[in-house]
Structure 1
Amino acid sequence: MGWVWSLFIRAHKKDLEFSDLYRCPKSDETHRVRQKLEIKWDKELKSKEKPSLFRALFASFGPELIVLYIPDAIKELGVNIIQPYCIVYLVRYFNDDPNTSQWWATCAAVGIVLATLVYIFIMHFNLTMCSKVGVRIRTACCALIYRKSMRLSHSSLGQTTVGQILNIMSNDVNRFDEFAFNSRALFVAPLQAAIVLYLLWSHLRWACLAGMGILVLFIPFQVLMGRMFRSIRQKTAELTDSRIRLMQEIIAGMRVIKMYAWEQPFAQLVATARK
């Protein structure tokens, strides 16, 4: 964090310039991450199956995310389970349980503090590294989109506007950042559920399956809601693309619109498109 404070101090003394910023690591440079994704995407195009961007992204950046799942699993499965056991020993000690000595209570208190410190360290480290992977994925996709836009023919340019490309690069691609954070649940949640059920079985027996059963019953509902949100998102993207295309055409023909005094009709078109 030392480089952040030095940057803050430098910005407090004078306005920051481009030369004041630090150079990003070579592994995060645009041409490197683009080349990594482009190689996998070319393999998808040459394969007999239908090309899949997800497979190309997973082959390019999947191992980096999977490695980050390991400390996250330690945090969720180890630290989060140790803390409740330490709290149990403390509660027993303060309830004058004869089977719990002061030494065990002291160890439990130290364990709670150490578990909290380990949890905070792993959480922030994992968030930082996941954000880096998300930025790499987003940068690689933006670079591929830009490279593809520079190679479009005149007929393709007539079907795809600059505004539509900018909308994809500035709005849609940002979903990869969210995926880098939320994808951890696909790996950690099943393990966590299995370990919690194993620990509760000795105390509650069949009663512990009630809460887990409710969660399992909610899975089809979540899948249904996800599909509904996906369809709504697709319709929203189509409306956004049409609105951006309309604004691009209006801005390109603004001189003609002013010449023929067509401001009011086109203003109504813009108002209708923004509803």
Structure 2
Amino acid sequence: MKDIDLGKEFVIPSPGYRNGRQSASLNQHEEQEGLNSRQDTNKNVACQDALETAARAEGLSLDGLTSSHLGVLDEAHHKGKYHYGWNLMKPIRTTSKYPHPIDNSGLFSYMTFSWLTPLARVAYKKGELLMEDVWPLSVQESSEVNCRRLERLWHQELHECGPADASLGKVIWGFCRTRLIISIVCLMVTQLAGFSGPAFVVKHLLEYTQQMEPNLQYGLLLVCGILMMEIVRSWSLALTWALNYRTGVRLRGAVLTMAFKKILKLKNIKDKSMGELINVCSNDGQRMFEAAAVGSLLAGGPIVAILGMVYNVIILGPTGFLGSAVFILFYPAMMFASRFTAYFRRKCVAVTDERVQKMNEVLNYIKFIKMYAWVKAFSQNVQKIREEERKILERAGYFQSITVGVAPIVVVIASVVTFSVHMILGYDLTAAQAFTVVTVFNSMTFALKVTPFSVKSLSEASVAIDRFKLPPTV
């Protein structure tokens, strides 16, 4: 690919050149030095403009504000690695030193999203939101800040394992590890609270309704227990989503910024086409965000399945294994479906890269296409590629629809099989036992519903990580 000489466009002939060759020869050396200086300057400006344009198209912040962001973080880093995170653990905070309200919020405000209340109030009063109504980007979500941290982890991986054995997935896990672990812990609290309410409180409440002499205080205590369990479940789940979404934003900004910087330094893209590079920056970055936002929810499924199986066996006896077996067998089916999802994803990205490359050629050579009347031929070619891409997406959608559609039916199947076998074997079944088992099965459905999306996001993220391995810059 031939380099474009950006400096020649701004060369102005000197008066000596117009007066004769002698004046031109005297100024030749000076003009050449000025030309080289302007050429280097213009190339740097072009690279900066290209980086800024691409970054702003992706919603990244690569302007001069990042220097102040880095200074703020360097100042906070001397106070401790988790100084900012520990401040968020305070239940209530009254500080207002940060421009974004999420950086000033406490734990209750963070998990309930009440820091969004002023923005919602402005949207309600005005009926719309303008750019001046939205807060500036949080310091913690700055793409340059997160990219610097991700690059440091990547250089450490290269130093320890070498370029051949370096794992980008391991680096990304190190980048998100602490926040994802906290998110998984919050998810465990959610699952335990959602399981404890139906398993214990609802069971005692049903037994209380069958008593001949009611105890008002005991009944109110059970009702308050159900309320507290639901509050813990909903707040811990909200905290899980808050952590996951913010982790996804940081990961997406860091990965895309590092990819932009790497692409601008490439001297030879080798086997990477222009369409593939565009698709990496526009499509695969979103896959990384989805993996960080939804992937950790997969950890709650096995724990709820084990707790439900043990509890059903205690309540119903050996027949409790049947209903739990239906849930447990559903997870291998999800893993099997995820293999097909990853397979179709790999096929689809190759076709998508080809389509983007073809559209890039059409836009670059539109004059020649119009001149030689090649519009119909190119449109048929693009339509053929798009038709192949649509077929692959349809096949992937079929498997995804099967997994999503089967999840709500699992509760019904497990309940019918368990109660039918339990009654056929001659065991007694009381109302308290039946309703308690059904509510336990319902509490297990959340893990089943999020499993297809979690497996899909992790499978697509594994493909995206492989595509982010760009060729070396030299």
TM-score tier (shorter) = 0.7 to 0.9
Match of 2:234 in 1: 120
- The code of the aligned residue for 2:166 comes to P
Alpha-carbon distance between aligned partners in 1 of 2:216 and 2:241, rounded to the nearest angstrom = 37
**Local SS of the residue matching 1:150:** helix
Shift of residue 11, structure 1, vs aligned partner: 4.9
Structure whose alpha-carbon radius of gyration is higher? 2
- The code of the aligned residue for 1:197 comes to M
For the 8 Å contact 2:189–2:233, the answer to whether it is kept is no
Match of 2:253 in 1: 139
Pair 1:233-2:345 in alignment: yes
Shift of residue 6, structure 1, vs aligned partner: 4.6
Alpha-carbon distance between aligned partners in 1 of 2:313 and 2:343, rounded to the nearest angstrom = 41
Alpha-carbon distance between aligned partners in 1 of 2:323 and 2:122, rounded to the nearest angstrom = 49
- The code of the aligned residue for 1:50 comes to D
Pairs within 5 Å for 1:113-262: 113-153=227-267, 155-156=268-269, 159-161=272-274, 163-262=275-374
Shift of residue 7, structure 1, vs aligned partner: 4.1
Alpha-carbon distance between aligned partners in 2 of 1:228 and 1:129, rounded to the nearest angstrom = 29
List per-residue Cα deviations over 1:208-241 (Å, max 9, x = no partner): 2223333333444332221111111110000000
Alpha-carbon spacing, 1:125–1:221, altered in 2? closer, same or farther (3 Å): closer
1:58 equivalent among 163, 169, 173: 173
- Say which is worse superposed, 240-249 or 89-98, in terms of deviation: 89-98
2:143 equivalent among 30, 43, 54: 30
For the 8 Å contact 1:37–1:140, the answer to whether it is kept is yes
Shift of residue 173, structure 1, vs aligned partner: 2.0
Alpha-carbon spacing, 1:205–1:184, altered in 2? closer, same or farther (3 Å): farther
Alpha-carbon distance between aligned partners in 2 of 1:24 and 1:135, rounded to the nearest angstrom = 12
Q: With structure 1 as the length reference, what TM-score do the two structures score?
A: 0.87
**Local SS of the residue matching 2:202:** helix
Alpha-carbon distance between aligned partners in 2 of 1:187 and 1:76, rounded to the nearest angstrom = 10
Shift of residue 132, structure 1, vs aligned partner: 0.6
Alpha-carbon distance between aligned partners in 2 of 1:203 and 1:158, rounded to the nearest angstrom = 61
- Say which is worse superposed, 242-251 or 196-205, in terms of deviation: 196-205
Pair 1:270-2:385 in alignment: no
Alpha-carbon distance between aligned partners in 2 of 1:30 and 1:170, rounded to the nearest angstrom = 15
Shift of residue 10, structure 1, vs aligned partner: 7.2
Alpha-carbon distance between aligned partners in 1 of 2:329 and 2:350, rounded to the nearest angstrom = 33
For the 8 Å contact 1:127–1:181, the answer to whether it is kept is yes
2:152 equivalent among 34, 39, 48: 39
Shift of residue 43, structure 1, vs aligned partner: 2.4
- Say which is worse superposed, 181-190 or 23-32, in terms of deviation: 181-190
Runs of 4+ deviating beyond 4 Å? none
Shift of residue 29, structure 1, vs aligned partner: 0.8
Alpha-carbon distance between aligned partners in 2 of 1:178 and 1:156, rounded to the nearest angstrom = 27
Q: With structure 2 as the length reference, what TM-score do the two structures score?
A: 0.53
Pair 1:86-2:86 in alignment: no
CA RMSD of aligned residues (A): 2.4
**Local SS of the residue matching 2:318:** helix
- Amino-acid identity (%): 21
For the 8 Å contact 1:89–1:104, the answer to whether it is kept is no
List per-residue Cα deviations over 1:55-98 (Å, max 9, x = no partner): 00111111111012222211111343124422222222322355
List per-residue Cα deviations over 1:116-139 (Å, max 9, x = no partner): 222222222221221111111111
What runs of 5+ residues in structure 2 fail to find an aligned partner? 1-115, 388-474
Shift of residue 2, structure 1, vs aligned partner: 2.8
Alpha-carbon distance between aligned partners in 1 of 2:376 and 2:218, rounded to the nearest angstrom = 79
For the 8 Å contact 2:196–2:229, the answer to whether it is kept is no
